[in-house]
Structure 1
Amino acid sequence: MSTTTSKKIAIVTGASSGIGYAITKELAQHDYIIYACARRLEPIQPLVDEFSTSIIKPYKLDISIIDEVVAFKEFLEKELPGQKLDLLYNNAGQSCTFPALDVSDANMQKCFQVNVFGHVNMCRELSKYLINAKGTIVFTGSLAGIVSFPFGSIYSATKAAIHAYARGLHLEMKPFGVRIINAVTGGVDTNISDTRPLPEGSIYEFPEGKEAFEGRQRMAKNHHPMSAEVYAKKLMGDILSSRDPVDVYRGTMATFLGFVSLFVPYCILEFALIKKFHLTKVFKVLKERNAQGKKQD
């Protein structure tokens, strides 16, 4: 049953670690009540212990399952004072670091279900609560949605999709006074990095290819990522601000690469990516293999 409260109410998905955990803590420090949603609730317990169950309310939720999203909406129907939700922070994410031709259907579907469909479903199902409160919706976007890094095409596609959705939603929610923030995120120190090996039989399954692939997996850790706590403080500033810019650039290299992507021709950007990720040797091996294959034919 709902209770009367003057505190603002927030929902954070993917609250069990990284950005979601840090955002949940930051919101609690700013006097919000937070429904901290995640597939695993045990990692959220330290926040419950620190702030109490009246502030941090863990809720087991897999946003990739529509029935669970609908059940959460029905739960909130009885929980939310005045049927109002001040903040929906769509943070849950799924990594997918594989060469474009190696991504299995199952991995592709899971990535889109979490990174795109889950957030869209959350926004649709909870929209009336946000409209009632003239609230704010935040998405954890990514530089990968602007620059398609090597071995990350599917993840980039999901982030590009959510960027486009956020911008369309921003326009359509204007009459209702609901703000939309798409946090185009650069390097942040989280555990989302994909550590799965190259699939067996990959066209990159040779020493130079494996080296480049493993280097891509370590990309965030190797470039002085911003701490999740600092990132959360910056996003808290965006949430509390009256500005309504749609896209904000947060995290290591976010502003710089966002600027570069706008003004540098893609052919130059692609050349820089080849150099940055040591793909010259990889391409040489592949070209030699291809040439030998043609000779044999």
Structure 2
Amino acid sequence: MSSTTIESRKTAIVTGASSGIGYEITKELARNGFIVYACARRLGPIDDLINDLAPELTTELAKAVIKPYQLDISKEDEVKQFRVFLEKELPNGKLDLLYNNAGQSCTFPALDVTNDVMEQCFKVNVFGHVNMCRELASYLIQARGTIVFTGSLAGITPFPFGSIYSATKAAIHEYARVLHLEMKPFGVRVINVVTGGVATNIADTRPLPDDSVYNFPEGRKAFEYRQSMAKNHHPMPADVYAKELIKDILSDKDPVDVYRGKLATIMSYVMMLVPYSLLEWGLCKKFKLDKVFEALKSKAESKTKSD
């Protein structure tokens, strides 16, 4: 644990800090010499985070280095207000780390996603991060700091019932890669964390719509299996993931993509090496879509005979 004094600590911002990855990243940053602005829509859990750290850092120090800030990154005006707030909070105008972690899941068949659901997912997973980078760029450039994004295997793998979530992650992956190139002249690192299975509470529990084309027994079973995918496959604990990410943040290396979390590295090679037709076959088997095909084929054959 770092013994860095308050005056010499670096400064970080973590969005989505109230649970999961953001919660554990905030703790690890505090342990490693950062003052952290822990941003979230709900601030209650941040008090728990401070209490978790108190036995290690002392209550006084934990309260000094963890600074809760209520922020909904899907609202551009709140992001701009945060920038104004930081003008007074950062007297030297430096921000060493922006960790864009806040996220929202969206698990629905592609044909069932409403405009409102799609728009909200993009606002949180894409627009919010883009707005944060734009508004806080001058502080990061002044510090020659680091920007991190919580990407996802979903951004490179066509997991069924995840079309919109996957689209948002694919978008932020590409944004991060271009930003990585554009920030090089300013000495700002950009890291896109292609994240595999991590134990968080992000899973989407909304039910299958009544009018869904998948609303029949085999379709519902496949959908329910997809909803429980993460918890049923022994995901990496969030604190273990955070410890790995701290090494990336503190390193002098400048990668674009790093692969962290359960199966992240393996699936990256699968996506590069396995023919797409074989990949789709495997995903159909894995996510029980083969049973959906069988049910629809049987229904069609029965209809043909009755006609």
TM-score (norm 1): 0.96
1:224 aligns with 2:234: yes
SS in 1 for 2:17: coil
For 2:188, give the aligned amino acid: V
User: Which residue number corresponds to residue 161 of structure 1?
Assistant: 171
The worse-fitting range, judged by mean Cα deviation, of 15-24 and 38-47 is 38-47
1:282 aligns with 2:282: no
Structure 1 segment 1-297 matched on structure 2, within 5 A: 5-49=7-51, 50=54, 51-289=61-299
C-alpha displacement of 1:245 = 1.1
The count of residues paired between Structure 1 and Structure 2 equals 294
SS in 1 for 2:64: coil
Mapped to 2, the partners of 1:122 and 1:82 lie a distance apart of 19
C-alpha displacement of 1:46 = 1.7
For 1:166, give the aligned amino acid: A
TM-score (norm 2): 0.93
Structure 1's 43 and 287: CA in aligned 2 closer, same or farther, altered over 3 A?
Answer: same
C-alpha displacement of 1:278 = 1.2
Mapped to 2, the partners of 1:233 and 1:38 lie a distance apart of 21
C-alpha displacement of 1:25 = 0.3
For 2:265, give the aligned amino acid: T
Structure 1's 294 and 67: CA in aligned 2 closer, same or farther, altered over 3 A?
Answer: farther
Structure 1's 242 and 205: CA in aligned 2 closer, same or farther, altered over 3 A?
Answer: same
Mapped to 2, the partners of 1:105 and 1:293 lie a distance apart of 34
Contact 1:61 1:69 in 2 (8 A): yes
The worse-fitting range, judged by mean Cα deviation, of 179-188 and 277-286 is 277-286
Question: Which residues of structure 2 form unaligned runs of 5+?
Answer: 1-5, 55-60
Structure 1's 24 and 292: CA in aligned 2 closer, same or farther, altered over 3 A?
Answer: same
Mapped to 2, the partners of 1:235 and 1:226 lie a distance apart of 13
Mapped to 1, the partners of 2:133 and 2:201 lie a distance apart of 25
Question: Which residues of structure 1 form unaligned runs of 5+?
Answer: none
Structure 1's 296 and 91: CA in aligned 2 closer, same or farther, altered over 3 A?
Answer: farther
C-alpha displacement of 1:290 = 5.1
For 2:142, give the aligned amino acid: N
Contact 1:5 1:81 in 2 (8 A): no
Mapped to 2, the partners of 1:294 and 1:18 lie a distance apart of 51
For 1:17, give the aligned amino acid: S
For 1:21, give the aligned amino acid: Y
Mapped to 2, the partners of 1:37 and 1:106 lie a distance apart of 24
Contact 1:48 1:57 in 2 (8 A): no
Mapped to 1, the partners of 2:139 and 2:293 lie a distance apart of 52
Structure 1's 155 and 27: CA in aligned 2 closer, same or farther, altered over 3 A?
Answer: same
C-alpha displacement of 1:253 = 0.2
For 1:23, give the aligned amino acid: I
C-alpha displacement of 1:285 = 2.0
C-alpha displacement of 1:294 = 7.7
Deviations 1:115-140 (Å, cap 9, x if unpaired)?
00000000000000000000000000
C-alpha displacement of 1:53 = 2.4
In angstroms, what is the RMSD of aligned CA positions? 1.5
Mapped to 2, the partners of 1:8 and 1:255 lie a distance apart of 30
Deviations 1:139-182 (Å, cap 9, x if unpaired)?
00000000020100100000000000000000000000000000
Runs of 4+ in 1 over 3 A off after TM superposition: 287-297
